[in-house]
Structures are given as C-alpha cells and as structure tokens.
C-alpha cells in the first residue's frame, strides 16, 4: 500500500455552509489500514501510518476538525495460525502482540485520535448488528464457493493470477478452499451504484479513479462471501449458521476488486456448518 491509498481513505465529513450556500468541509476523517497482528509491525506498516499522520497534522494545521484512526485486525486465519504456532489461543496472542504495535506508534509520535481493535466489544457488537440487518433485509443467502486462497494475503486468486502455481505476492503455494457460507447480494446494487456515481461523482476519491470504478461495476458484480467455515476465530453473528463476517472499523470500498471465491450454488435457507467472521480483506472470502 502507498500514500495514495491512505489519502484515498480520507473522508471529508459533513462540512459547513458559507455565503452563497457553498459547502466547505471543516471535518476530516482519515484511517490507516487496520493491520493484521499475526506478527510485529515492519517498515511497510510504519510507512502508511506516517503518511496518514502527516496528512492528519496538515489538516489540523489548516483548522479542520480531524479524527485520525488506526488499529489492528485481530481476526482471521493467519492470526489464528500464528497463535497456534506460538502455543497460545488467538485472544491471548493478540493481547500480547498489540502492545508492541501501540509502542511503535508511540515511539514514532503518531498523532492518532483512536486505536481500534477488532476484538473489542465496540467493534464486534456493531458487526453483529450490521450482519443481522442485512440478513433480515434478505440481502444475504446461504451458498457454497470455491477458490484458490493465500492465507498470508487473506485473498483469493484465479489460476491466471498465480505465478508458477504460487501466490504472486508471497511466492507461497495457495490452498484450494471449498466452503459453505453466507453471500451478500452485491450484484443487486450495481444499478444503484452507477446512479450514485453519476449523480455524485465526488463520492469516488481520488477523482482520477472514477472511470475505473464505473467500468468495474459495469463489467458486472459478483456476490460477495461474508463468512468463513474452515476456522472459528472471528465474530459470531446470532441466528446465522454459518456465522457472518463484516467489519465497520474502516471505510470499506463500495466495490471489491475481486469478490472472494466463486459461488457454486444457488440461494438456500438450510443451515450449514458453523463458521465465523474472519475479517478477511475486501477481495477475500470475508469483508473487513
């Protein structure tokens, strides 16, 4: 990730009205990615955090009311595996390692206003509420999917994207995953998204990405898997089997670069195997 990615997540807030009715923003929300805690922070994490910090300080210096968020994503398969490799349960692992992350940001004098952990109740309760609402609205259904999955990336890949059969980022073998999970009806909202982009092009930031986003949506959206069933380190959602996975700590892209896996069955109401929220990235089997 680079500074452009961090800047793109900056959200202008509500703004104020001045003479002539023009809206001038005076609030500014910015977030770093929420970082996986399968290991200690490295220079890449420091880079995105320092970039966000510089932008937050610049906006404060210009009089904006800034809210700068960072934090840790403590769910998911690779976090669970890291805990297992270190002989502790996932919660004990995240409690131990998150202190090191916070110490690094203090040493770098990062000026964040808040630090969110996805294992905190203030995160898990809204996640459960959101998942329940979309289920009650009929926007999720039970189905199956399969895909080639890189645990290190928390992301699915197609055969064409692999390099010598390995993850193009980490160079490691991928795993073939077949799961029965909940899917969000993302395809249902394609027309509404295109209408939003036409009426409010400022919704997409940076502006140079607008045509790219429109072309992506026009190319067709696949429904998005929002749960995992092959491990249980995640946020359980009452009334769902499998348990759903969503995240509300960072602004989630309206469209995913690639929905996780390929749906292989139609809608169903039959219960499946227990699953959990996994906090996978937007292009993986679960949303963040």
**DSSP state for residue 251 in the 8-state scheme:** P
Note down pLDDT in tens along the chain; length 288 residues.
444 444 444 444 444 444 454 556 789 999 999 998 988 999 999 999 999 999 999 999 999 999 999 999 999 888 988 999 999 999 999 999 999 999 999 999 999 999 999 999 999 999 999 988 998 999 998 888 788 888 877 788 888 889 998 999 888 899 888 878 888 999 999 999 999 999 999 999 899 999 999 999 999 998 988 887 777 888 887 665 544 444 444 433 322 333 344 444 333 333 333 334 443 333 333 333
Number of Cβ within 10 Å of residue 43's Cβ equals: 7
What pTM, to 2 d.p., does this model score?
Answer: 0.69
Domain 3-119 has CATH 1.10.3720.10: no
Cβ contacts of residue 101 below 8 Å, gap of 6+?
35, 37, 40, 41, 72
Q: Are 109 and 102 in contact (CB under 8 A)?
A: no
Gyration radius of the chain over CA positions = 19
Cβ contacts of residue 166 below 8 Å, gap of 6+?
172, 173, 174
Number of Cβ within 10 Å of residue 126's Cβ equals: 15
Q: Are 202 and 245 in contact (CB under 8 A)?
A: no
Q: Which residue has the tokens 């993850």?
A: 167
Q: Domain ranges for the chain, please list them.
A: 3-119, 124-185+223-263
Q: Tell me the CATH architecture of domain 124-185+223-263.
A: Beta Complex (2.170)
């Amino acid at each position: 990730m680079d500074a452009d990615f961090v800047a793109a997540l900056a959200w202008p807030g509500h703004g104020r009205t001045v003479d002539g009715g023009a809206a001038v923003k005076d609030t500014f929300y910015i977030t770093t990615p929420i970082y996986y805690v399968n290991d200690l922070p490295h220079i890449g994490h420091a880079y995105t955090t320092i970039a966000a910090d510089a932008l937050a300080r610049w906006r404060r210096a210009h009089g904006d009311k800034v809210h700068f968020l960072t934090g840790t994503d403590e769910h998911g398969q690779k976090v669970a595996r890291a805990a297992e490799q270190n002989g502790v349960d996932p919660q004990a692992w995240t409690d131990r390692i998150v202190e090191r992350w916070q110490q690094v940001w203090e040493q770098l004098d990062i000026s964040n206003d808040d630090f969110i952990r996805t294992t905190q109740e203030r995160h898990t309760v809204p996640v459960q509420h959101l998942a329940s609402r979309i289920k009650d609205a009929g926007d999720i259904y039970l189905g199956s999917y399969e895909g080639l999955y890189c645990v290190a990336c928390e992301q699915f890949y197609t055969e064409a994207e692999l390099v010598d059969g390995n993850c193009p980022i980490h160079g490691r073998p991928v795993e073939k995953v077949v799961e029965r999970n909940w899917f969000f009806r993302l395809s249902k909202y394609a027309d509404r998204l295109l209408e939003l982009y036409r009426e409010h092009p400022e919704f997409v930031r940076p502006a140079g990405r607008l045509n790219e986003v429109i072309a992506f949506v026009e190319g067709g959206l696949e429904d998005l898997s929002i749960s995992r069933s092959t491990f249980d380190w995640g946020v359980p959602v009452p009334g769902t089997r499998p348990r759903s996975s969503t995240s509300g700590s960072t602004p989630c892209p309206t469209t995913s670069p690639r929905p996780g896996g390929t749906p292989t069955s139609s809608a169903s109401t039959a219960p499946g195997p227990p699953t959990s929220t996994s906090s996978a990235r937007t292009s993986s089997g679960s949303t963040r």
